Chain A
Amino acid sequence: MSDLSPSGPPTPSELVSPSRRSLLRGVGGAVLLAGAGVPLLSACGDSSSGSDPKTVSLGSNASDAVPKKAFAEIYAAFKKQSGITVDVNTKDHNTFQEQINSYLQGTPDDVFTWFAGYRMQFFAAKKLASPIDDVWAKIGGDFPDAMKQLSKGEDGKYYFVPLYTYPWAVFYRKSVFKQHGYEVPTTWDKFVALCKQMKKDGLVPIAFGDKDAWPAMGTFDQINFRLNGYDFHKSLMAGKASWTDAKVKAVFDHWSEILPYHQDGFMGRTWQDAAQGLVAKKSGMYVIGSFAAQQFTNKADLDDLDFFAFPEINSAYGQETVEAPTDGFMVSKSPKNHAGAVKLMEYLGTPEAEQIYLKADSSVVAASSKADTSSYTPLQKKAYTMISGAKNLTQFMDRDSRPDFTSSVMQPSLQKFLQNPKGIDSLLSSIERQKKTIFASS
């Protein structure tokens, strides 16, 4: 802003005799200066962290309190080890995601937080990220094959360093189940029966909040791969299988069956508020990712929290698939401090970095197979077992598919279904028509 100040106060001579001409000249000068100010101002943004070899800039979507603090501790440890300062720009989680396109094309930070899977491959294919095979040459031994697969672009090069992962499952309170004598349901019929029983007992059977439009995708995914299997999920997300397929219709039929047991008023409720129902023991179950544990700020409540895998629907697929979104880091297309960025990525790939994160945020588990699991909470141990025992790992509907499709078609469509489950046939053909348009373009 200081660039503009010269145009502000007029010179003394102008003040003494403000003749028309000098006034005009002054105005003209001000316009010129303002015009000149524009490029100067736009240059402001990227001047600070320029070529300093001791600083790496990092764009972060970790805006929630718990992860933000956990990340800060990692960067502090990195500084201690390497002497390189991490200059963090944190943006609101959802905003970061929505602006990612323009962010990566503009002057992005050297390193940025992102998601594994299709969402990462999309930007890698668009050449908005730098390949980091050199980083993986050092850290490769620490990761299981599933993670390596998730970190590669379509061209086979590595673009991503995973930090942690977390499962989606059905969360519940041990004390509530004990009090009412409930048993963990392993099949769909038992699950529906349990919902009925909970309703009778005055509980909200399934906590639910879909104001942000993505939580519903989680429920869809669970029913879909339990009913139709991993391969169908993949093919549906990739735009190959048809949404008008009877298999998809069956997913929505199953969902309709449990919809009456979902928490009322979900369209105006955030996932955090829905989690509060579980904290207050008013809700019996909650289909959500294990980050729900972040809402349990009281230690006793957190210890009481447990989860089970979404029940089996089709015995051909059992409970073999786990939805385990993986978060981590990428390097932007032309980082200003490439050497520093590589060093940071190598550090982020170490078990130490993961352990620092997990200490602060016990709702997730380490992506690395070398991380020390002895300090895990029972919840983390269970999540780790669940993920490492899975036959297939999925990411999430909006991470396994095109973001334009999921955000502009699936989010409103699922909300529409939830409001009016009877109109599913016309809704599915509408989804299919829109899908064809979107997947046909580029």
Chain B
Amino acid sequence: MTTDTNMKSPEAAAVPPPGRAPDKKRVPRGHKRLLTRRDRITLAFMAGVPTVLHVALVWVTAIASIALAFTSWDGIGFSSIKWVGLDNFKHLFSDNPQFWPAVEHNIIWFVVLILIPTPMGLFLAVQLDKKIRFSRVYQTAFFLPVVVSLAVTGFVWQLVYNPDTGLINSLIGANKPGHYIDWIGDPHLNLWAVLVAASWRHTGYMMILYLAGLKGVDPSLREASALDGANEWQTFKSVIFPTLRPTNTVVLVVTIIEALRAFDLVFVFNKGAQGTELLSILITNNIIGESSRIGYGSAIAVVLLVISLAVIIPYLIATFRKERQA
């Protein structure tokens, strides 16, 4: 929003305001002169306030947490910050039994999201785009999980998976001694159980993104391919899908972000116990919890930041380069 206003306001200001004819001869010297002092102050505020907020809330905090990653701090008083160099990272990589599983689970999270709910969402979007009856109802039903807060989603699924009274175990009779299926606790099961819930939600999200993309496809393309005698699958594969490229970019970036910031669902589900460790949860447990190992937690946050940048930056560069060439 802020960038929008920043970019538009100089343009708008370039239009000479009515009733200022005497200034007209100055126009060729550049439109800066057109702005009165008041305009400039207003603009300075409009550009300045968001910039200050952005720098304070994004850059200063990010850089502060990078700096803290090289310290040891219990969060009580600034005087207790101690410089420890790379110690946090050393301990993280070699001693923390939860770190590497967490990295692995974040990757699994991404792979599963891209392989199952994303095609599923695309499939639903294509079906709903056919103007079938009650399509609004279906849209709403599939999109509902996205609207519901993830904490609520986690809570609902936790009831489904509860080992004693949960829906699944009650239905299949797995809540008796010796037959337990511990969906929430068993480290071989719980990640997949929680991924079912995550996929359930992500499908709706992907559906809406693709539906928006499909609405933007020029109907004459379909017409043309129909005239050429292409069947439905051929039309989709060779005509529709390629035109969805901008949507695919968004989908990929959104899915990566979702995978890296996965947190709420698992936190409600089982607090990231063995089997569902995630980087975001390790950060929270170390910083927010009673433990307050702020330096150490920041080190994990820095690792997460590096991973995010490593994934997102090359992709965005490649995309923008392609677009410039096109």
How far, in whole Å, are A32 and B177 apart by their CA atoms in the complex? 64
How far, in whole Å, are A88 and B66 apart by their CA atoms in the complex? 38
Partner pick for B98 among A126, A405, A412, A419, CB 8 A cutoff: A412
Chain B: interface residue total (CB-CB under 8 A): 53
Chain A neighbourhood of B75, CB < 8 A: 101-102, 105
Chain A neighbourhood of B12, CB < 8 A: 20
A interface, over-half SS: helix
How far, in whole Å, are A21 and B286 apart by their CA atoms in the complex? 50
Partner pick for B286 among A27, A211, A408, A441, CB 8 A cutoff: A408
The answer on a CB contact under 8 Å between B291 and A269 is: no
How far, in whole Å, are A278 and B96 apart by their CA atoms in the complex? 37
A269-B289 contact given A415-B273, A433-B95, A441-B72, CB 8 Å threshold: no
The answer on a CB contact under 8 Å between A28 and B46 is: yes
A204 within 8 A of B: yes
Chain B: minimal CB distance from A251 (Å): 19
User: B144-202: which have CB < 8 Å to A?
Assistant: 161-165, 175, 177-178, 180-187, 190
The answer on a CB contact under 8 Å between A28 and B164 is: no
Instruction: Tally A-B pairs: CB < 8 A.
Output: 140
A264-B182 contact given A27-B46, A412-B274, A442-B82, CB 8 Å threshold: yes
A8 within 8 A of B: no
B30 within 8 A of A: no
The answer on a CB contact under 8 Å between A267 and B49 is: no
How far, in whole Å, are A295 and B266 apart by their CA atoms in the complex? 27
The answer on a CB contact under 8 Å between B290 and A265 is: no
B interface, over-half SS: loop
Chain A neighbourhood of B180, CB < 8 A: 264-265
How far, in whole Å, are A28 and B49 apart by their CA atoms in the complex? 9
Interface residues on A, range: 35 or more
The answer on a CB contact under 8 Å between A264 and B177 is: yes
How far, in whole Å, are A441 and B80 apart by their CA atoms in the complex? 10
B271 within 8 A of A: yes
Partner pick for B97 among A276, A412, A419, CB 8 A cutoff: A412
B6 within 8 A of A: no
Chain B: minimal CB distance from A119 (Å): 9
A273 within 8 A of B: yes
How far, in whole Å, are A263 and B163 apart by their CA atoms in the complex? 11
B105 within 8 A of A: no
Closest to B80 in A: A442
Chain A: minimal CB distance from B10 (Å): 12
The answer on a CB contact under 8 Å between B98 and A404 is: no
Complex A-B: 14 CB contacts under 8 Å: A31-B49, A98-B289, A101-B76, A105-B76, A128-B76, A211-B270, A211-B273, A264-B177, A265-B180, A265-B182, A268-B161, A268-B190, A419-B274, A430-B95
